[in-house]
């Protein structure tokens, strides 16, 4: 689990419109985590929050 993995997954979601649409349909963080694992990423919801709270580069 890592912040780097969470960051990489969020970047993928921004680039992949199909994945973005799929994520928009998620009802809870567990569904999001399942999709991330399915795509080969491993991180916690807390790590995702940490990435999202960082200022944009």
The model's pTM: 0.82
Q: Write out pLDDT tens, residues 17-57.
A: 999 999 999 998 889 889 999 999 999 888 888 888 876 65
**Residue indicated by tokens 């979601």:** 13
SS3 43: coil
Distance in angstroms (rounded) separating the CA atoms of residues 50 and 22: 22
DSSP string, 6-42: HHHHHHHHHH-HHHHHHHHT--SHHHHHHHHHHTT--
CB 45 within 8 A of CB 29: yes
The residue extents of the domains of the chain are 3-53
């Amino acid at each position: 689990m890592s912040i780097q993995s969470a960051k990489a997954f969020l970047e993928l979601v921004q680039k992949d419109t199909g994945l973005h649409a799929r994520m928009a349909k998620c009802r809870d963080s567990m569904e999001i985590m399942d999709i991330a694992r399915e795509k080969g990423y491993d991180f916690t919801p807390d790590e995702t929050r940490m990435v999202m709270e960082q200022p944009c580069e």
